[in-house]
Structure 1
């Protein structure tokens, strides 16, 4: 009850003081507002930039280990020709991984892509499309956002049937007058039937592969088009992907198991080094996270100078407020007000002032996020809002603690006599 009464009384005193000096209050708020705006704007831009970059990398999946010829991170001490001489993953190895891998995985997929294809339907055509052959579990390791229609059935995959899931841009250009489902198109002389259309994604910041101009077909159908063999001879080189389980943190168990199985499949002796690479998206995600952590720290340091200026402004105004209200403080003390009440009163006023300024700074950032941005859509997270308010409270305490202590320790007799 005492705490509630102190809070209410302090709020009333703070509001009366702020309202009685409107111009001074506005000038004091300006420094805090600019400071909080600078810090939160930097964090909002960094978070938006990181989210956009990570979204651009969605096509590589999450918790997936890829089997490839080339590593995503090269060893500087290893000659390039050793990587070049490695064999490419094959369909036979994909089948063996399916058979031999234990319960540490959710699915194994093989996929292969060819760019620069032209799809034709009646008088319409779309050039420079990516044609991708995939196995049934491909949707487990990668995002396939089918918006209209359905995904492939196991039977369609097993038979290599001429069915396809196309991107939104392909659907819009091939069938501008109607629905794409059930329609046919030709690519490389073969006829396919559309069973699904993927959600439109638009361009991303890194200009990474998008599903909009992508056409998925069963791996068997792709192998027929490009004369791929089970041993990997001829045509584009396929890749293998294995989805890990959430119960395997870091996917260490899956990685060790895959390494052993792949070495066994390729007949490597114990002393021979691996002739394949096990790549994980975490390598890229970790590098991205470290980069944006550095950018965020640099932005926070720059923004902290602005908030520091605002803090000095609040401290200055609180010293002036103590001097102006010295006689009132003396009267309050003579009537029985305790030191902690005076201390809390001025400290609360400083915090209240900073919270108003911080709130205005956060509001400005939020208003900027409402402006449509094609290149980089901005958003303001609840964490950044909480951070802005927390920083405001911290600045208020630091700026008001010394003036509040001075006010609390004033001698009541001398304070009443002050003019």
Structure 2
């Protein structure tokens, strides 16, 4: 046992001496491993970031909410005209759905809320936000809204039916229009399309959908008030919350049948509407993640293969350069296992060095990318560090095994005569 410990200790000491004696050569040899570790780490960081961002986005969209819309949440490709020619969603259909829900207490559906969407400039004094997401809805939107009110309140049914010009600001909208502090927003007025709206609430920060579309750049107003400046139906939707504990698939089928009746569709007619749900976005997200994974594994595999070939060649050169040393060690009693272990540890040490440098470079790139895209949730986890270390060690073992085996099989007498 003591002999084995001594062999391991001696092998690590020699490996460290060789790395220190040939710093530049070791670094250049490890370059392939460095590139491979950077590639696999950034790939894992991106995929984990997408998963985290997607999970956060599902929470914002509401995992128990269906969206009845004209368009599906997917690339429609050549079928664009098919969806374009569909009849618009009528916000009044929400009340028909609610009447049916009230008449059927065992329904899997809880409540339907209409939304009329438009994009307008929102102004306050000399400050303005262009293309703000305006959501005209009912007072019941507060029930299904995934964002809490940070300040103030939601508008009431009374304010809705009397078409009061009241507004709830998204977090970023409030911060932009009221840089002195969102607490100053309550009771103040903002302008939309020439109409003055009193600020009665500010939403808490929600973040963005996969770092792209911010949920904080919206405002919410009564649907009745919105009709004063926007009557188009092209972007209407109805949001339906599923009853607590209900099966989502059962609720989906129930809502499909109900809305087909509202639309007066015959059994043989195709649906002229879409019922979108947050889980459906996974289908469009899958190819993105697969593409990143394929590219990352290809670059990683290629870089590690090139790195392994380089390490193998350098280790063969090292064996040839130190043939007399090997012969001397064998002559004074060193076992073949000790020689094999020595060169194997040297190869693994170069790969571990490359892995450490690769992780450092990847982390630096992650910090830089996060600074450039602060809304994207890049995730640098312990799992990635473990994976990088495992790949480094595996590459070192595979690339160093052949030259280490050759060194261990050298005949001591012939090795000592080597010039």
Trace 1:398-409 onto structure 2 (pairs within 5 A). Answer: 398-409=398-409
Which runs of no fewer than 5 residues in structure 2 stay unpaired? none
2:319 touches 2:407 (CA, 8 Å); kept in 1? yes
Provide the rounded CA distance (Å) in 1 between the counterparts of 2:21 and 2:81: 76
Q: Which residue of 2 aligns with 1:69?
A: 70
Deviations 1:201-256 (A, max 9, x none): 599864x35423x2123xxx32244179xxxx95546312345699889x433322
Residue 22 of structure 1 corresponds to 23
Q: Which residue of 1 aligns with 2:14?
A: 13
| C-alpha distance in 1 between matches for 2:243 and 2:326 | 66
Q: Does the aligned pair in 1 maintain the 2:167–2:197 contact within 8 Å?
A: no
Partners of 1:370 and 1:334 lie apart in 2 by 53
Identify if the C-alpha distance between structure 1 residues 75 and 252 changes in structure 2 by more than 3 Å, giving closer, same or farther. Answer: farther
> 2:105 and 2:324 mapped to 1: Cα distance?
82
The answer to whether residue 120 in structure 2 is matched with residue 116 in structure 1 is yes
**Matched residue, 1:129:** 132
Query: What SS does the corresponding residue of 1:133 show, helix, strand or coil?
Result: strand
Please give the secondary structure, in 2, of the residue aligned with 1:278.
Answer: strand
| Secondary structure at the counterpart of residue 129 of structure 1 | strand
Provide closer, same or farther for how the CA distance between residues 272 and 62 of structure 1 changes in structure 2, counting only shifts above 3 A: same
Look up the SS of the partner of 1:182 in the other structure: coil
After TM superposition, give the deviation of residue 162 of structure 1 in Å. Answer: 5.7
Within the candidate set 183, 191, 198, 1:192 is matched to 198
When the two chains are superposed, the root-mean-square deviation of aligned CA atoms in Å is 4.4
Q: Would the alpha carbon gap of residues 410 and 177 (structure 1) be closer, same or farther in structure 2, given more than 3 Å must change?
A: closer
How many residue pairs end up in the alignment?
407
Q: Report the Cα distance in structure 1 between the residues aligned to 2:344 and 2:108, rounded to whole angstroms.
A: 57
Cα 1:389–1:172 shift into 2, 3 Å: same
Residues 165 and 195 in structure 1, CA contact (< 8 A), matched pair in contact too: yes
1:360 aligns with 2:340: no
2:293 equivalent to 1:293: no
How far did 1:11 drift?
1.9
The TM-score, its normalising length taken from structure 2, stands at 0.76
- Supply the distance in 1 between the matched residues of 2:216 and 2:21 (Cα, whole angstroms): 61
Aligned to 1:386: 386
SS for the counterpart of 1:410 is coil
8 A contact 2:86–2:272 mirrored in 1: no
Q: Spell out, residue by residue over 1:67-96, the C-alpha distance to the aligned partner (whole angstroms, 9 max, x if none).
A: 123334549689728952465352213414
1-structure distance, mates of 2:100, 2:167: 26
Which residue pairs with 2:271 in the alignment? Answer: 274
- 2:112 and 2:404 map into 1 onto residues whose CA distance is 66
Query: 1:58 deviation in Å?
Result: 7.9
How far apart are the structure 2 equivalents of 1:81 and 1:306?
46
Q: Give the corresponding residue for 1:256.
A: 253
| Contact preservation (8 Å) 1:111, 1:240 | yes
Indicate the residue corresponding to 2:344 in structure 1: 347
* SS of alignment partner, residue 114 of structure 1: strand
- Looking at structure 2, the residues matched to 397 and 248 of structure 1 have their Cα atoms a distance apart, in angstroms, of 54
Displacement of 1:276 in angstroms is 2.6
Distance 1:114 1:86 in 2: 14
**Which secondary structure does the structure 1 equivalent of 2:118 belong to?**
strand
Q: Hey, what does 1:211 align to over in structure 2?
A: 216
Distance 1:129 1:180, change over 3 A: farther
Distance 2:36 2:127 in 1: 56
